[in-house]
Structure 1
Amino acid sequence: MRSLNEILEGCVASGRSFAAQALAAESAETGSSPDSIRAGLAGRLKDMEFSVKEAASGSWRGLLVPEEAFLLEEYGKKGTGFSSPFVLTAARISISVATYNSAMGRIVAAPTAGSCGILPGILFACREHLEADDESLIDGLITAAAVGEVTEARATLAGASGGCQAECGAAAAMGSAALVTIRGGSPDEVCHAVALTFKSVLGLVCDPVGGLVESPCIKRNGLLVSLGTLAADFALAGMKSLIPADEVIDAMGQVGRALPETLRETGLGGLAASPTGRELARKLLD
Protein backbone atom coordinates (compact mmCIF):
# COMPACT_ATOMS: atom_id res chain seq x y z
CA MET A 1 0.00 0.00 0.00
CA ARG A 2 1.34 3.41 -0.96
CA SER A 3 -1.62 5.71 -0.44
CA LEU A 4 -4.16 6.36 2.29
CA ASN A 5 -6.24 8.21 -0.29
CA GLU A 6 -6.48 5.05 -2.39
CA ILE A 7 -7.83 3.20 0.63
CA LEU A 8 -10.24 6.08 1.23
CA GLU A 9 -11.45 5.95 -2.37
CA GLY A 10 -11.90 2.20 -2.01
CA CYS A 11 -14.04 2.79 1.07
CA VAL A 12 -16.27 5.18 -0.87
CA ALA A 13 -16.65 2.70 -3.74
CA SER A 14 -17.23 -0.37 -1.57
CA GLY A 15 -18.98 1.08 1.45
CA ARG A 16 -16.45 -0.69 3.68
CA SER A 17 -14.89 0.70 6.84
CA PHE A 18 -11.26 1.81 6.66
CA ALA A 19 -10.09 -1.37 8.39
CA ALA A 20 -12.14 -3.62 6.09
CA GLN A 21 -10.89 -1.85 2.97
CA ALA A 22 -7.27 -1.93 4.17
CA LEU A 23 -7.65 -5.64 4.85
CA ALA A 24 -9.07 -6.22 1.36
CA ALA A 25 -6.23 -4.23 -0.21
CA GLU A 26 -3.60 -6.17 1.74
CA SER A 27 -5.22 -9.44 0.71
CA ALA A 28 -5.20 -8.41 -2.95
CA GLU A 29 -1.54 -7.33 -2.79
CA THR A 30 -0.18 -10.34 -0.94
CA GLY A 31 -2.51 -13.13 -2.02
CA SER A 32 -3.17 -13.99 1.63
CA SER A 33 -6.77 -14.45 2.68
CA PRO A 34 -8.36 -11.82 4.92
CA ASP A 35 -8.86 -14.47 7.58
CA SER A 36 -5.17 -15.39 7.60
CA ILE A 37 -4.14 -11.74 7.82
CA ARG A 38 -6.51 -11.18 10.75
CA ALA A 39 -5.13 -14.29 12.42
CA GLY A 40 -1.59 -12.98 12.03
CA LEU A 41 -2.52 -9.64 13.56
CA ALA A 42 -4.39 -11.42 16.35
CA GLY A 43 -1.06 -13.09 17.12
CA ARG A 44 0.72 -9.74 17.20
CA LEU A 45 -1.97 -8.43 19.57
CA LYS A 46 -1.29 -11.37 21.89
CA ASP A 47 2.43 -10.59 21.69
CA MET A 48 1.71 -6.99 22.65
CA GLU A 49 -0.44 -8.18 25.53
CA PHE A 50 2.43 -10.38 26.72
CA SER A 51 4.74 -7.35 26.70
CA VAL A 52 2.20 -5.22 28.58
CA LYS A 53 1.74 -7.87 31.28
CA GLU A 54 5.45 -8.65 31.59
CA ALA A 55 6.32 -4.96 31.72
CA ALA A 56 3.85 -4.47 34.58
CA SER A 57 4.97 -7.57 36.48
CA GLY A 58 8.33 -6.34 37.73
CA SER A 59 10.73 -3.45 38.07
CA TRP A 60 12.68 -3.00 34.85
CA ARG A 61 15.34 -0.48 33.95
CA GLY A 62 17.79 0.18 31.20
CA LEU A 63 21.32 1.47 31.61
CA LEU A 64 20.14 5.05 32.11
CA VAL A 65 16.42 5.14 32.88
CA PRO A 66 14.72 3.49 35.89
CA GLU A 67 11.17 2.16 35.94
CA GLU A 68 8.87 5.16 36.43
CA ALA A 69 5.52 4.01 35.03
CA PHE A 70 4.31 3.21 38.55
CA LEU A 71 4.52 6.92 39.36
CA LEU A 72 1.81 7.61 36.80
CA GLU A 73 -0.31 4.82 38.24
CA GLU A 74 -0.05 6.28 41.73
CA TYR A 75 -0.67 9.80 40.43
CA GLY A 76 -3.72 8.66 38.48
CA LYS A 77 -5.29 7.17 41.62
CA LYS A 78 -5.35 10.64 43.19
CA GLY A 79 -7.84 11.82 40.57
CA THR A 80 -6.21 15.23 40.36
CA GLY A 81 -4.54 14.89 36.97
CA PHE A 82 -5.12 17.34 34.15
CA SER A 83 -5.09 14.50 31.62
CA SER A 84 -7.98 12.07 31.35
CA PRO A 85 -7.79 8.62 33.01
CA PHE A 86 -7.59 7.15 29.48
CA VAL A 87 -4.51 9.20 28.57
CA LEU A 88 -2.80 8.52 31.90
CA THR A 89 -3.38 4.78 31.48
CA ALA A 90 -2.13 4.83 27.88
CA ALA A 91 0.95 6.80 28.94
CA ARG A 92 1.64 4.45 31.85
CA ILE A 93 1.45 1.37 29.63
CA SER A 94 3.51 3.05 26.94
CA ILE A 95 6.32 4.04 29.33
CA SER A 96 6.22 0.63 30.96
CA VAL A 97 6.60 -1.25 27.67
CA ALA A 98 9.31 1.11 26.40
CA THR A 99 11.26 0.63 29.64
CA TYR A 100 10.81 -3.14 29.36
CA ASN A 101 12.26 -2.91 25.85
CA SER A 102 15.33 -1.13 27.23
CA ALA A 103 15.76 -4.04 29.65
CA MET A 104 15.86 -6.39 26.63
CA GLY A 105 12.27 -7.53 27.09
CA ARG A 106 10.27 -9.05 24.24
CA ILE A 107 8.21 -6.41 22.44
CA VAL A 108 6.44 -5.85 19.13
CA ALA A 109 8.32 -3.25 17.11
CA ALA A 110 5.23 -1.43 15.84
CA PRO A 111 6.52 0.35 13.94
CA THR A 112 9.98 0.29 15.63
CA ALA A 113 11.59 -0.79 18.89
CA GLY A 114 12.16 2.84 19.85
CA SER A 115 8.44 3.58 19.56
CA CYS A 116 7.20 0.19 20.82
CA GLY A 117 5.15 1.52 23.73
CA ILE A 118 2.78 3.88 21.94
CA LEU A 119 0.50 1.50 20.08
CA PRO A 120 0.06 -1.02 22.93
CA GLY A 121 -0.47 1.90 25.31
CA ILE A 122 -3.35 3.19 23.20
CA LEU A 123 -4.84 -0.22 22.38
CA PHE A 124 -4.82 -1.62 25.91
CA ALA A 125 -6.11 1.63 27.38
CA CYS A 126 -9.08 1.02 25.06
CA ARG A 127 -9.56 -2.38 26.65
CA GLU A 128 -9.35 -0.93 30.16
CA HIS A 129 -11.48 2.18 29.69
CA LEU A 130 -13.69 1.44 26.66
CA GLU A 131 -14.13 -2.31 27.25
CA ALA A 132 -12.97 -2.90 23.67
CA ASP A 133 -12.89 -6.58 22.76
CA ASP A 134 -10.16 -8.33 20.78
CA GLU A 135 -12.00 -8.02 17.47
CA SER A 136 -12.26 -4.24 17.88
CA LEU A 137 -8.59 -4.02 18.82
CA ILE A 138 -7.65 -6.12 15.79
CA ASP A 139 -9.64 -3.74 13.57
CA GLY A 140 -7.65 -0.91 15.13
CA LEU A 141 -4.44 -2.81 14.54
CA ILE A 142 -5.35 -3.39 10.87
CA THR A 143 -5.87 0.35 10.43
CA ALA A 144 -2.63 1.14 12.27
CA ALA A 145 -0.72 -1.35 10.13
CA ALA A 146 -2.03 0.23 6.94
CA VAL A 147 -0.91 3.67 8.13
CA GLY A 148 2.53 2.27 8.97
CA GLU A 149 2.83 0.52 5.61
CA VAL A 150 1.94 3.67 3.68
CA THR A 151 4.34 5.72 5.81
CA GLU A 152 7.17 3.31 5.13
CA ALA A 153 6.43 3.29 1.39
CA ARG A 154 6.13 7.07 1.01
CA ALA A 155 8.66 8.26 3.59
CA THR A 156 10.42 6.21 6.28
CA LEU A 157 9.89 4.57 9.66
CA ALA A 158 13.54 4.79 10.70
CA GLY A 159 14.96 7.38 13.04
CA ALA A 160 18.30 7.03 11.29
CA SER A 161 16.64 8.18 8.06
CA GLY A 162 13.99 10.61 9.22
CA GLY A 163 14.35 11.46 12.90
CA CYS A 164 11.91 10.57 15.65
CA GLN A 165 9.02 12.02 13.63
CA ALA A 166 9.36 8.77 11.64
CA GLU A 167 9.35 6.52 14.71
CA CYS A 168 7.37 7.89 17.67
CA GLY A 169 5.56 10.25 15.30
CA ALA A 170 4.47 7.39 13.06
CA ALA A 171 3.47 5.28 16.06
CA ALA A 172 1.31 8.14 17.36
CA ALA A 173 -0.34 8.53 13.94
CA MET A 174 -0.95 4.78 13.78
CA GLY A 175 -2.44 4.84 17.27
CA SER A 176 -4.62 7.82 16.45
CA ALA A 177 -5.99 6.04 13.38
CA ALA A 178 -6.63 2.94 15.50
CA LEU A 179 -8.59 5.00 18.03
CA VAL A 180 -10.84 6.48 15.36
CA THR A 181 -11.50 2.99 14.01
CA ILE A 182 -12.27 1.54 17.44
CA ARG A 183 -14.68 4.41 18.09
CA GLY A 184 -16.48 3.70 14.80
CA GLY A 185 -15.24 6.83 13.02
CA SER A 186 -15.45 7.25 9.26
CA PRO A 187 -12.61 6.48 6.84
CA ASP A 188 -12.26 10.20 6.21
CA GLU A 189 -11.84 10.80 9.96
CA VAL A 190 -9.13 8.13 10.11
CA CYS A 191 -7.12 10.00 7.48
CA HIS A 192 -7.59 13.36 9.19
CA ALA A 193 -6.39 11.89 12.49
CA VAL A 194 -3.23 10.65 10.77
CA ALA A 195 -2.59 14.00 9.11
CA LEU A 196 -3.22 16.01 12.28
CA THR A 197 -0.82 13.82 14.24
CA PHE A 198 2.01 13.93 11.72
CA LYS A 199 1.64 17.68 11.23
CA SER A 200 2.33 18.15 14.93
CA VAL A 201 5.63 16.24 14.96
CA LEU A 202 7.28 17.44 11.74
CA GLY A 203 10.96 17.94 12.44
CA LEU A 204 11.04 15.88 15.64
CA VAL A 205 14.68 14.82 15.93
CA CYS A 206 16.12 11.48 17.00
CA ASP A 207 18.67 12.29 19.72
CA PRO A 208 19.21 9.28 22.00
CA VAL A 209 21.55 9.98 24.89
CA GLY A 210 24.54 7.65 24.69
CA GLY A 211 23.03 6.10 21.58
CA LEU A 212 20.56 4.14 23.74
CA VAL A 213 16.82 3.95 23.12
CA GLU A 214 16.09 5.29 26.61
CA SER A 215 16.37 9.06 26.99
CA PRO A 216 14.38 10.88 25.70
CA CYS A 217 12.76 7.93 23.94
CA ILE A 218 10.89 6.28 26.82
CA LYS A 219 9.12 9.39 28.05
CA ARG A 220 8.58 10.50 24.46
CA ASN A 221 6.59 7.28 24.01
CA GLY A 222 4.41 8.21 26.96
CA LEU A 223 3.92 11.81 25.93
CA LEU A 224 3.00 11.09 22.32
CA VAL A 225 0.06 8.86 23.23
CA SER A 226 -1.62 12.09 24.33
CA LEU A 227 -0.99 13.68 20.93
CA GLY A 228 -2.42 10.69 19.07
CA THR A 229 -5.43 10.61 21.38
CA LEU A 230 -6.16 14.33 20.97
CA ALA A 231 -5.76 14.10 17.18
CA ALA A 232 -8.36 11.30 17.20
CA ASP A 233 -10.67 13.54 19.24
CA PHE A 234 -10.12 16.39 16.79
CA ALA A 235 -10.99 14.16 13.83
CA LEU A 236 -14.05 12.63 15.53
CA ALA A 237 -15.23 16.14 16.44
CA GLY A 238 -15.23 17.00 12.73
CA MET A 239 -11.97 18.94 12.56
CA LYS A 240 -10.04 18.43 9.35
CA SER A 241 -6.48 18.73 8.12
CA LEU A 242 -6.17 21.22 5.29
CA ILE A 243 -3.33 19.12 3.84
CA PRO A 244 -4.28 15.52 2.90
CA ALA A 245 -2.68 12.71 4.88
CA ASP A 246 -0.57 11.37 1.99
CA GLU A 247 0.90 14.81 1.38
CA VAL A 248 1.64 15.25 5.09
CA ILE A 249 3.50 11.92 5.07
CA ASP A 250 5.40 13.05 1.97
CA ALA A 251 6.35 16.24 3.79
CA MET A 252 7.55 14.19 6.76
CA GLY A 253 9.85 12.28 4.42
CA GLN A 254 11.18 15.50 2.93
CA VAL A 255 11.81 17.00 6.36
CA GLY A 256 13.56 13.81 7.46
CA ARG A 257 15.91 13.88 4.51
CA ALA A 258 16.69 17.53 5.25
CA LEU A 259 17.62 16.88 8.88
CA PRO A 260 21.37 16.91 9.49
CA GLU A 261 22.98 13.58 10.31
CA THR A 262 23.59 14.70 13.89
CA LEU A 263 19.82 14.74 14.47
CA ARG A 264 19.12 11.30 13.02
CA GLU A 265 19.82 8.66 15.67
CA THR A 266 23.57 9.19 15.74
CA GLY A 267 23.65 10.44 19.32
CA LEU A 268 25.69 13.43 18.15
CA GLY A 269 23.14 16.24 18.39
CA GLY A 270 20.08 17.46 20.26
CA LEU A 271 19.75 16.23 23.85
CA ALA A 272 22.52 13.69 23.27
CA ALA A 273 24.94 16.58 22.73
CA SER A 274 23.88 18.49 25.85
CA PRO A 275 26.47 18.70 28.67
CA THR A 276 24.52 16.21 30.78
CA GLY A 277 23.92 13.94 27.80
CA ARG A 278 27.63 13.86 27.00
CA GLU A 279 28.56 13.21 30.64
CA LEU A 280 26.12 10.29 30.82
CA ALA A 281 27.57 8.86 27.60
CA ARG A 282 31.10 9.12 29.06
CA LYS A 283 30.00 7.28 32.19
CA LEU A 284 28.53 4.51 30.07
CA LEU A 285 31.83 4.12 28.23
CA ASP A 286 33.71 3.99 31.53
Structure 2
Amino acid sequence: MFVDSGEKLIEECTKRKISIADYTIEEEISKSQTNYEYVFSRMKKNLEVMKSAAEYGTENKVKSMSGLIGGDGFKLNNYSKKEDTITGSIMVKAMARAIACSEVNASMGKIVAAPTAGSCGILPAVILTVGEKFSKSDDELTKALFTASGIGMLIAKNATLSGAEGGCQAECGSAAAMGAGAVVEMLGGTPEMALDAASIVIKNVLGLVCDPVAGLVEVPCSKRNVSGAVNAITTADMVMAGVGSIIPFDDSVSAMYRVGKQLPCELRETALGGLAVTKKGQELKNKIMK
Protein backbone atom coordinates (compact mmCIF):
# COMPACT_ATOMS: atom_id res chain seq x y z
CA MET A 1 0.00 0.00 0.00
CA PHE A 2 1.25 3.48 -0.90
CA VAL A 3 2.64 5.35 2.11
CA ASP A 4 0.33 7.93 3.66
CA SER A 5 2.74 10.83 4.21
CA GLY A 6 5.62 12.65 2.61
CA GLU A 7 7.74 11.94 5.66
CA LYS A 8 7.25 8.19 5.26
CA LEU A 9 7.88 8.42 1.52
CA ILE A 10 11.22 10.13 2.12
CA GLU A 11 12.14 7.54 4.76
CA GLU A 12 11.26 4.65 2.44
CA CYS A 13 13.06 6.08 -0.58
CA THR A 14 16.14 7.00 1.47
CA LYS A 15 16.33 3.62 3.17
CA ARG A 16 16.05 1.75 -0.14
CA LYS A 17 18.03 4.33 -2.15
CA ILE A 18 15.30 4.72 -4.75
CA SER A 19 13.46 7.67 -6.26
CA ILE A 20 9.82 8.65 -5.79
CA ALA A 21 9.29 7.51 -9.39
CA ASP A 22 10.73 4.06 -8.64
CA TYR A 23 8.63 3.71 -5.51
CA THR A 24 5.47 4.75 -7.37
CA ILE A 25 6.15 2.28 -10.18
CA GLU A 26 6.65 -0.55 -7.69
CA GLU A 27 3.39 0.29 -5.94
CA GLU A 28 1.50 0.42 -9.21
CA ILE A 29 2.90 -2.95 -10.26
CA SER A 30 1.80 -4.42 -6.94
CA LYS A 31 -1.66 -2.84 -7.06
CA SER A 32 -2.38 -3.76 -10.68
CA GLN A 33 -0.71 -7.18 -10.39
CA THR A 34 1.02 -6.65 -13.72
CA ASN A 35 4.66 -5.98 -14.61
CA TYR A 36 7.07 -3.11 -15.17
CA GLU A 37 6.70 -3.09 -18.94
CA TYR A 38 2.91 -2.86 -18.77
CA VAL A 39 2.82 -0.13 -16.14
CA PHE A 40 5.52 1.92 -17.85
CA SER A 41 3.91 1.63 -21.29
CA ARG A 42 0.58 2.85 -19.93
CA MET A 43 2.19 5.92 -18.44
CA LYS A 44 4.06 6.50 -21.68
CA LYS A 45 0.69 6.66 -23.46
CA ASN A 46 -0.27 9.48 -21.10
CA LEU A 47 2.90 11.28 -22.12
CA GLU A 48 1.96 10.91 -25.79
CA VAL A 49 -1.49 12.37 -25.17
CA MET A 50 0.09 15.29 -23.31
CA LYS A 51 2.49 15.90 -26.18
CA SER A 52 -0.31 15.77 -28.72
CA ALA A 53 -2.53 18.22 -26.82
CA ALA A 54 0.32 20.66 -26.24
CA GLU A 55 1.42 20.51 -29.87
CA TYR A 56 -2.06 20.88 -31.32
CA GLY A 57 -2.98 23.75 -29.04
CA THR A 58 0.19 25.70 -29.81
CA GLU A 59 0.09 25.18 -33.56
CA ASN A 60 -3.63 25.80 -34.06
CA LYS A 61 -6.04 28.53 -32.98
CA VAL A 62 -8.14 26.24 -30.81
CA LYS A 63 -11.51 27.63 -29.75
CA SER A 64 -13.54 26.42 -26.77
CA MET A 65 -17.10 25.17 -27.26
CA SER A 66 -18.49 28.29 -25.60
CA GLY A 67 -16.21 30.66 -27.46
CA LEU A 68 -14.98 32.14 -24.18
CA ILE A 69 -11.35 31.18 -24.76
CA GLY A 70 -9.18 30.16 -27.65
CA GLY A 71 -6.08 30.94 -29.66
CA ASP A 72 -3.91 32.04 -26.75
CA GLY A 73 -1.68 28.97 -26.92
CA PHE A 74 -1.05 29.77 -30.56
CA LYS A 75 -0.25 33.43 -29.76
CA LEU A 76 2.15 32.53 -26.95
CA ASN A 77 3.90 29.92 -29.05
CA ASN A 78 4.59 32.50 -31.76
CA TYR A 79 5.69 35.00 -29.14
CA SER A 80 8.13 32.45 -27.65
CA LYS A 81 10.10 32.53 -30.90
CA LYS A 82 10.97 36.21 -30.46
CA GLU A 83 14.32 37.18 -29.02
CA ASP A 84 13.03 39.93 -26.77
CA THR A 85 10.49 38.21 -24.53
CA ILE A 86 10.53 39.32 -20.91
CA THR A 87 10.94 35.93 -19.24
CA GLY A 88 12.77 34.12 -22.04
CA SER A 89 11.70 31.59 -24.64
CA ILE A 90 11.74 28.61 -22.27
CA MET A 91 9.27 30.16 -19.87
CA VAL A 92 7.01 31.49 -22.61
CA LYS A 93 7.00 28.10 -24.30
CA ALA A 94 5.87 26.52 -21.03
CA MET A 95 3.14 29.16 -20.75
CA ALA A 96 2.04 28.40 -24.30
CA ARG A 97 1.80 24.67 -23.66
CA ALA A 98 -0.09 25.16 -20.41
CA ILE A 99 -2.81 27.31 -21.93
CA ALA A 100 -2.85 25.22 -25.11
CA CYS A 101 -3.76 22.05 -23.24
CA SER A 102 -6.44 23.94 -21.36
CA GLU A 103 -7.88 25.17 -24.65
CA VAL A 104 -7.83 21.66 -26.12
CA ASN A 105 -9.74 20.47 -23.06
CA ALA A 106 -12.34 23.24 -23.45
CA SER A 107 -12.79 22.33 -27.12
CA MET A 108 -13.59 18.72 -26.19
CA GLY A 109 -10.18 17.51 -27.29
CA LYS A 110 -8.22 14.67 -25.70
CA ILE A 111 -6.15 15.56 -22.65
CA VAL A 112 -4.78 13.89 -19.53
CA ALA A 113 -6.53 15.02 -16.36
CA ALA A 114 -3.43 15.42 -14.22
CA PRO A 115 -4.76 15.62 -11.64
CA THR A 116 -7.95 17.22 -13.08
CA ALA A 117 -9.23 18.40 -16.45
CA GLY A 118 -9.30 21.98 -15.19
CA SER A 119 -5.57 21.84 -14.37
CA CYS A 120 -4.59 19.63 -17.30
CA GLY A 121 -2.09 22.04 -18.84
CA ILE A 122 0.32 22.48 -15.96
CA LEU A 123 2.05 19.11 -15.76
CA PRO A 124 2.55 18.72 -19.53
CA ALA A 125 3.88 22.26 -19.82
CA VAL A 126 6.39 21.76 -17.04
CA ILE A 127 7.56 18.25 -17.93
CA LEU A 128 7.77 18.77 -21.68
CA THR A 129 9.45 22.17 -21.55
CA VAL A 130 12.04 21.36 -18.91
CA GLY A 131 12.64 17.98 -20.53
CA GLU A 132 13.19 19.64 -23.89
CA LYS A 133 15.65 22.13 -22.44
CA PHE A 134 17.74 19.37 -20.87
CA SER A 135 17.36 16.90 -23.77
CA LYS A 136 15.57 14.29 -21.67
CA SER A 137 14.35 11.12 -23.36
CA ASP A 138 10.71 9.97 -23.44
CA ASP A 139 11.58 7.33 -20.86
CA GLU A 140 12.96 10.02 -18.55
CA LEU A 141 9.85 12.14 -19.06
CA THR A 142 7.68 9.11 -18.31
CA LYS A 143 9.55 8.50 -15.07
CA ALA A 144 8.95 12.13 -14.16
CA LEU A 145 5.23 11.51 -14.60
CA PHE A 146 5.51 8.71 -12.05
CA THR A 147 7.14 11.13 -9.63
CA ALA A 148 4.27 13.53 -10.20
CA SER A 149 1.79 10.69 -9.64
CA GLY A 150 3.39 9.78 -6.34
CA ILE A 151 3.12 13.35 -5.11
CA GLY A 152 -0.46 13.54 -6.33
CA MET A 153 -1.27 10.34 -4.46
CA LEU A 154 -0.11 11.89 -1.19
CA ILE A 155 -2.17 15.03 -1.78
CA ALA A 156 -5.25 12.93 -2.59
CA LYS A 157 -4.75 10.80 0.50
CA ASN A 158 -4.35 13.73 2.89
CA ALA A 159 -6.32 16.56 1.27
CA THR A 160 -8.20 16.81 -2.02
CA LEU A 161 -7.63 17.35 -5.72
CA SER A 162 -11.12 18.72 -6.30
CA GLY A 163 -11.92 22.39 -6.87
CA ALA A 164 -15.46 21.75 -5.67
CA GLU A 165 -14.08 20.55 -2.35
CA GLY A 166 -10.94 22.63 -1.88
CA GLY A 167 -10.88 25.50 -4.38
CA CYS A 168 -8.43 26.00 -7.23
CA GLN A 169 -5.53 25.58 -4.79
CA ALA A 170 -6.49 21.90 -4.81
CA GLU A 171 -6.52 21.66 -8.62
CA CYS A 172 -3.98 24.02 -10.17
CA GLY A 173 -2.06 24.09 -6.91
CA SER A 174 -1.75 20.31 -6.78
CA ALA A 175 -0.86 20.09 -10.47
CA ALA A 176 1.91 22.67 -10.01
CA ALA A 177 3.20 20.86 -6.92
CA MET A 178 3.29 17.61 -8.86
CA GLY A 179 5.12 19.29 -11.74
CA ALA A 180 7.68 21.02 -9.55
CA GLY A 181 8.53 17.85 -7.66
CA ALA A 182 8.71 15.86 -10.88
CA VAL A 183 11.23 18.11 -12.60
CA VAL A 184 13.36 18.38 -9.48
CA GLU A 185 13.70 14.61 -9.37
CA MET A 186 14.15 14.43 -13.16
CA LEU A 187 17.10 16.82 -12.82
CA GLY A 188 18.76 14.74 -10.11
CA GLY A 189 17.16 16.11 -6.97
CA THR A 190 16.45 13.85 -4.00
CA PRO A 191 12.95 12.80 -2.88
CA GLU A 192 13.23 15.31 -0.05
CA MET A 193 14.06 18.08 -2.51
CA ALA A 194 11.15 17.06 -4.72
CA LEU A 195 8.72 17.30 -1.81
CA ASP A 196 10.26 20.61 -0.75
CA ALA A 197 9.41 21.93 -4.21
CA ALA A 198 5.86 20.62 -3.94
CA SER A 199 5.49 22.22 -0.52
CA ILE A 200 6.71 25.62 -1.70
CA VAL A 201 4.31 25.56 -4.64
CA ILE A 202 1.34 24.81 -2.38
CA LYS A 203 2.32 27.62 -0.02
CA ASN A 204 2.42 30.00 -2.98
CA VAL A 205 -1.22 29.36 -3.91
CA LEU A 206 -2.76 28.70 -0.51
CA GLY A 207 -6.34 29.97 -0.53
CA LEU A 208 -6.73 30.19 -4.33
CA VAL A 209 -10.47 30.08 -5.01
CA CYS A 210 -12.36 28.23 -7.75
CA ASP A 211 -14.70 30.70 -9.48
CA PRO A 212 -15.39 29.59 -13.08
CA VAL A 213 -17.30 32.11 -15.15
CA ALA A 214 -20.63 30.63 -16.31
CA GLY A 215 -19.65 27.42 -14.52
CA LEU A 216 -17.27 26.47 -17.34
CA VAL A 217 -13.66 25.39 -16.85
CA GLU A 218 -12.38 28.18 -19.08
CA VAL A 219 -12.21 31.60 -17.39
CA PRO A 220 -10.09 32.12 -15.33
CA CYS A 221 -8.97 28.48 -15.39
CA SER A 222 -6.91 28.54 -18.58
CA LYS A 223 -4.71 31.39 -17.40
CA ARG A 224 -4.33 29.80 -13.97
CA ASN A 225 -2.77 26.87 -15.80
CA VAL A 226 -0.16 29.30 -17.08
CA SER A 227 0.56 30.72 -13.63
CA GLY A 228 0.71 27.18 -12.23
CA ALA A 229 3.33 26.16 -14.77
CA VAL A 230 5.40 29.26 -14.03
CA ASN A 231 5.07 28.63 -10.29
CA ALA A 232 6.29 25.06 -10.74
CA ILE A 233 9.30 25.92 -12.87
CA THR A 234 10.51 28.86 -10.78
CA THR A 235 10.09 26.80 -7.61
CA ALA A 236 12.04 23.91 -9.11
CA ASP A 237 14.86 26.33 -9.88
CA MET A 238 14.85 27.57 -6.29
CA VAL A 239 15.09 24.05 -4.90
CA MET A 240 17.82 23.02 -7.35
CA ALA A 241 19.74 26.07 -6.12
CA GLY A 242 19.59 24.66 -2.60
CA VAL A 243 16.57 26.55 -1.27
CA GLY A 244 14.48 24.33 1.00
CA SER A 245 10.98 24.59 2.39
CA ILE A 246 10.71 25.68 6.01
CA ILE A 247 7.22 24.18 6.19
CA PRO A 248 7.30 20.43 5.44
CA PHE A 249 5.25 18.99 2.58
CA ASP A 250 2.83 17.20 4.90
CA ASP A 251 2.09 20.39 6.81
CA SER A 252 1.49 22.34 3.61
CA VAL A 253 -0.92 19.70 2.35
CA SER A 254 -2.85 19.62 5.62
CA ALA A 255 -3.02 23.42 5.62
CA MET A 256 -4.37 23.40 2.08
CA TYR A 257 -7.07 20.96 3.09
CA ARG A 258 -8.11 23.03 6.11
CA VAL A 259 -8.16 26.23 4.08
CA GLY A 260 -10.25 24.52 1.41
CA LYS A 261 -12.81 23.43 3.99
CA GLN A 262 -12.94 26.99 5.33
CA LEU A 263 -13.73 28.47 1.92
CA PRO A 264 -17.41 29.31 1.52
CA CYS A 265 -19.30 27.25 -1.07
CA GLU A 266 -19.46 30.32 -3.32
CA LEU A 267 -15.71 30.02 -3.85
CA ARG A 268 -15.62 26.30 -4.59
CA GLU A 269 -16.58 25.77 -8.24
CA THR A 270 -20.22 26.83 -7.84
CA ALA A 271 -19.79 29.98 -9.97
CA LEU A 272 -21.55 31.92 -7.21
CA GLY A 273 -18.59 34.06 -6.15
CA GLY A 274 -15.29 35.61 -7.16
CA LEU A 275 -14.82 36.46 -10.84
CA ALA A 276 -17.96 34.55 -11.80
CA VAL A 277 -20.23 37.18 -10.24
CA THR A 278 -18.44 40.28 -11.49
CA LYS A 279 -20.26 42.50 -13.97
CA LYS A 280 -18.35 41.04 -16.91
CA GLY A 281 -18.64 37.53 -15.55
CA GLN A 282 -22.41 37.82 -15.43
CA GLU A 283 -22.54 39.36 -18.92
CA LEU A 284 -20.59 36.43 -20.31
CA LYS A 285 -22.78 33.94 -18.48
CA ASN A 286 -25.98 35.48 -19.83
CA LYS A 287 -24.56 35.56 -23.34
CA ILE A 288 -23.50 31.92 -23.24
CA MET A 289 -26.65 30.63 -21.61
CA LYS A 290 -29.01 32.22 -24.15
Q: What band does the TM-score fall into relative to the shorter chain?
A: over 0.9
CA contact (8 A) 1:159 1:265 kept: yes
Note the aligned Cα RMSD (angstroms). 1.5
Say if 1:85 and 1:56 are closer, same or farther in 2 by CA, change over 3 A: closer
Q: Which residue does 2:15 correspond to in 1?
A: 13
Q: Which residue does 1:116 correspond to in 2?
A: 120
- How far apart are residue 38 of structure 1 and its match? 1.6
Aligned partners of 1:227, 1:176: CA distance in 2, in Å? 8
Residue by residue over 1:215-250, the C-alpha shift from the partner in whole angstroms, topping out at 9 and shown as x without a partner, is 100111012111001111111111111111012111
Q: Which residue does 1:155 correspond to in 2?
A: 159
Higher mean C-alpha deviation, range 176-185 or range 57-66: 57-66
Q: Which residue does 2:70 correspond to in 1?
A: 66
Find the residue that maps to 2:85 and give its secondary structure: coil
Q: Indicate which of 262, 273, 286 corresponds to 1:282.
A: 286
TM-score (norm 2): 0.94
Write the letter of the residue equivalent to 1:266. T
Aligned partners of 1:278, 1:264: CA distance in 2, in Å? 17
Aligned partners of 1:81, 1:165: CA distance in 2, in Å? 28
- How far apart are residue 75 of structure 1 and its match? 2.3
Q: Which residue does 2:51 correspond to in 1?
A: 49
Q: Which residue does 1:126 correspond to in 2?
A: 130
Higher mean C-alpha deviation, range 69-78 or range 143-152: 69-78
- How far apart are residue 57 of structure 1 and its match? 4.3
- How far apart are residue 59 of structure 1 and its match? 1.9
Map 1:191-206 to 2 at 5 A.
Answer: 191-206=195-210
Which runs of 5 or more residues in structure 1 are unaligned?
A: none
Aligned partners of 1:230, 1:127: CA distance in 2, in Å? 15
- How far apart are residue 104 of structure 1 and its match? 0.7
Map 1:161-240 to 2 at 5 A.
Answer: 161-240=165-244
Find the residue that maps to 1:243 and give its secondary structure: coil
Residue by residue over 1:97-150, the C-alpha shift from the partner in whole angstroms, topping out at 9 and shown as x without a partner, is 101111111111110000011111112213432211111101110000011111
CA contact (8 A) 1:139 1:181 kept: no
Find the residue that maps to 1:113 and give its secondary structure: coil
Q: Indicate which of 140, 146, 151 corresponds to 2:150.
A: 146
CA contact (8 A) 1:72 1:88 kept: yes
Higher mean C-alpha deviation, range 191-200 or range 81-90: 81-90
Find the residue that maps to 2:118 and give its secondary structure: helix
Write the letter of the residue equivalent to 2:215. G
Write the letter of the residue equivalent to 1:219. K
Aligned partners of 2:62, 2:76: CA distance in 1, in Å? 15
Q: Which residue does 1:271 correspond to in 2?
A: 275
The number of aligned residues is 286
Say if 1:147 and 1:188 are closer, same or farther in 2 by CA, change over 3 A: same
Write the letter of the residue equivalent to 1:53. E
Higher mean C-alpha deviation, range 51-60 or range 146-155: 51-60
- How far apart are residue 30 of structure 1 and its match? 4.6
Name the % identity: 38
Q: Which residue does 2:88 correspond to in 1?
A: 84
Aligned partners of 2:90, 2:81: CA distance in 1, in Å? 12
CA contact (8 A) 1:7 1:22 kept: no
Which runs of 5 or more residues in structure 2 are unaligned?
A: none
TM-score (norm 1): 0.95
Aligned partners of 2:74, 2:63: CA distance in 1, in Å? 13
Is 1:101 the counterpart of 2:111? The answer is no
